[in-house]
Amino acid sequence: MVRNGKQYVDSLKDNRRIYINGEIVEDVTTHPAFKGIIQSFANLYDLAADPSNDMIYTTEDGTQANKVFMIPRSREDLAIRRKAITKWAEATCGFAGRSPDHVAGFLAGFSSYPEVFGEYQQNVHDFYKYARDEDLFVTYVIIPPQVDRSKAAHEQEEKYLPVGVLEEREDGIVVRGSQMLGTSAAVSNYLFVSCITPLRPGDEDYAISFVLPLDTPGLKLYPRPSYAMGKEAVYDYPLSTQFDESDSLMVFDDVFIPWKHVFVNKNIEATRDQFHKTPAHVLGNNQAQIRLCTKIKFIIGVARKITEMGGTDKFPQVQERLGELASLAATVEGMLLASEYECTLDKNGTARPSARFLFGIVGMQDQVYANVIKILRELVGGGVLQMPSSYHEMVNPETRDDIRQYIRASGVDSEARIKLYRLAWDIIGSEFAGRHQQYEMFYNGAPFVVRGHAFRNYGYNEPLELVERFLSSYSLPDKDAHVQS
C-alpha cells in the first residue's frame, strides 16, 4: 500500500507525548510548530500515491510499495530509487533531511543482510515488510546524549543517561534513558533506536536496537524551539514555515518493547555490524546525498536569479563566484552518480553504491555546504536586510507605496524582489538557515567521524600500487659509476 497525505496526517492523531514551550501538544497535526512540516510531508505522500509520478513498485513479495523502500538489486535499481528520492527532494527543495525515505533506506539495508541480527533476524524482516507495506514514516535516534564524550556509556555519572536495558522480561525488554536527536520524530509513526557511536566492553546494556510507535507509553519528546511558530506568512519565511522538521531529545521513561520489535539485545558486535556490515549505512547516505544534490541545485538557482535580478551577473567577478557554485554542485552530483555507477553487488545480491565516492563526498560535506552558503551570502549583500519586517508593510496603505518605490529591481516589482530575497534570507540567515548549517555538518556524525568513513572506505591499494610502481622504476645510482665520474 502507498498512503496518501490524508492517511499520513490521520495516522499522527494519537497519544504521543511532545513537550514544547511548557505545554504538552494535544494534536500534533494542528499545532503551529508542526502543522507546516506535516503538510509538506503529506504532500510527499500525495505525490508518491499519484501513479503518474512513477514512485510505486512491485516488491519482491508481490505487494505495491513506495520505491524509497526498495532493496536495489542492480545499478538500474539504484537509478530508479534515485529518481524516486529526487522527486521527493525536489518537493522540499532538499530542505527536509529526515523525510520518510531516509530511514526507509536503513530498514531495506537491514532486511537485505539479516545475518548480522542473529536470533532476531526475523523481527528485522517482519518490521521492514510491515513498514514498507503500510508505508510507515520511521525516524531514528542513534546517538547518545551529550554528557561526557570522553567516557564510555557505562562510565557516565549515572547508569541510564544514554538509553539502555533496564529489565529483560519474558515478553520483551524495558528501556530507560535518552537519545539524541530525533529529527522529524515528532511527525513520524515509528522510531528506530540504537547506537552508532562505538561501544566498548562494559557497554553491553546500551548495545541495543529496536523500534517503537511514537505513542508508546513512557516515550517523551522534547523538541528544540520551533522556527515555524510565530511566523505568520509563508511569503515572509518560505522555508521555516514549511520545512521545519524539528529535532527532539527522546526520553525513555521505562518503556516496554515487545520482543517482536527488538533487533539487537546487549550485543556490541551486532550493534556495530547492523550499520557497517549491512548496506544500511550506504543506502541511507545515498538518500542523503540525493537530497543534498537537489538542495545545492536549488540554492544555485536562487543565486543565479538574484544576480540576474540585481544586474550583477554581468560582472566577471560575479560570474567567477557563480562558477565556483557550479563546481561545487557538479562535484556533489558527480560523486553521487559515480557512487551509483561504481556500485557492487554484495553476497546477498544487494547493489551497494560505491563507498569510495559516497563517503568521499560525505567527508567534504561540511565544507561544501559552508562554501555554498558563504558565496550566496556574498552575492546577496545587504539586500536581504533591506527587506521590510513582514508582508504587512507591503499591504498597509500607509507604507505600501514606499515599499513599491524603493524595494525593486529594474523591470522587477517589489513583490517579486522581496519574495526572492526573503527566500535567500531563509537559506542563509534565519534560525532555520543556521540550523541547516549545523545539520549538514553533523547529521551523519561530527566532521572528524565522516572523514574517518572517507579514510576507511577509499581503498588505498590502487594509489599505493601507483606509488610503488613509480618508486621501483628508479634506484640509487651505481656507486662505482659515481666515483669514476
Ligand X SMILES: Cc1cc2nc3c(=O)[nH]c(=O)nc-3n(C[C@H](O)[C@H](O)[C@H](O)COP(=O)(O)OP(=O)(O)OC[C@H]3O[C@@H](n4cnc5c(N)ncnc54)[C@H](O)[C@@H]3O)c2cc1C
Binding residues vs ligand X (CB under 6 A): 98, 140-143, 146, 149, 180-183, 247, 435, 438-439, 442-443, 445-448
The helix/strand count (H/E) of the chain reads as 18, 14
What letters, b where the CB count within 10 A reaches 16 and e where it falls short, cover 264-286?
A: bbbbbebbbbbbbbbbbbbbbbb
Task: State in angstroms the smallest separation of the CB of 141 from ligand X.
Answer: 5
Cβ-based nearer residue to ligand X, 5 or 162: 162
Cβ-based nearer residue to ligand X, 218 or 445: 445
Task: State in angstroms the smallest separation of the CB of 298 from ligand X.
Answer: 19
Helix (H, G, I), strand (E, B) or coil at 188: coil
Cβ-based nearer residue to ligand X, 210 or 391: 210
The DSSP secondary-structure symbol of 224 reads P
Task: State in angstroms the smallest separation of the CB of 276 from ligand X.
Answer: 15
Task: State in angstroms the smallest separation of the CB of 394 from ligand X.
Answer: 32
Which H helix or E strand runs over 174?
strand 172-183
Task: State in angstroms the smallest separation of the CB of 251 from ligand X.
Answer: 14
Cβ-based nearer residue to ligand X, 406 or 448: 448
Task: State in angstroms the smallest separation of the CB of 174 from ligand X.
Answer: 21
Task: State in angstroms the smallest separation of the CB of 133 from ligand X.
Answer: 24
Cβ-based nearer residue to ligand X, 143 or 280: 143
Q: Answer yes or no: are the C-beta atoms of 293 and 332 closer than 8 Å.
A: yes
Cβ-based nearer residue to ligand X, 180 or 234: 180
Cell of 82: 534515485
Q: How many CA atoms lie within 13 A of 395 on its CB side?
A: 5
Q: How far, in Å, CA of 423 to CA of 74, rounded?
A: 39
Task: State in angstroms the smallest separation of the CB of 146 from ligand X.
Answer: 5
Cβ-based nearer residue to ligand X, 128 or 439: 439
The DSSP secondary-structure symbol of 283 reads H
Q: How far, in Å, CA of 33 to CA of 89, rounded?
A: 22
Task: State in angstroms the smallest separation of the CB of 246 from ligand X.
Answer: 10
With 0-12 / 13-18 / 19 or more C-beta atoms within 10 angstroms meaning exposed / middle / buried, residue 146 is exposed
Cα-based torsion angle of the residue sequence 442, 446, 452, 458 in order, rounded to the nearest 10 degrees: 20
Cis peptide bond upstream of 181, omega within 30: yes
C-alpha closest to that of 191 among 98, 121, 115: 98
Cβ-based nearer residue to ligand X, 5 or 182: 182
Cβ-based nearer residue to ligand X, 55 or 181: 181
Bridge partners (DSSP) of residue 143 are 180
Q: How far, in Å, CA of 97 to CA of 88, rounded?
A: 11
Cβ-based nearer residue to ligand X, 75 or 224: 224
Cβ-based nearer residue to ligand X, 442 or 458: 442
Task: State in angstroms the smallest separation of the CB of 197 from ligand X.
Answer: 7
| Residues near 259 by beta carbon (within 8 Å), at least 6 away in sequence | 123, 171, 172, 173
DSSP alpha helix (H) spans, 277-399: 280-310, 316-341, 355-362, 365-380, 392-395
Q: How far, in Å, CA of 11 to CA of 38, rounded?
A: 11
Task: State in angstroms the smallest separation of the CB of 95 from ligand X.
Answer: 12
Task: Return the ∠ at Cα 156 (arms to 150 and 157), rounded to 5°.
Answer: 125
Task: State in angstroms the smallest separation of the CB of 427 from ligand X.
Answer: 15
AA letter at 108 = A
Q: Answer yes or no: are the C-beta atoms of 165 and 79 closer than 8 Å.
A: no
Q: How far, in Å, CA of 110 to CA of 117, rounded?
A: 9
Cβ-based nearer residue to ligand X, 179 or 414: 179
> Residue written as cell 553487488?
345
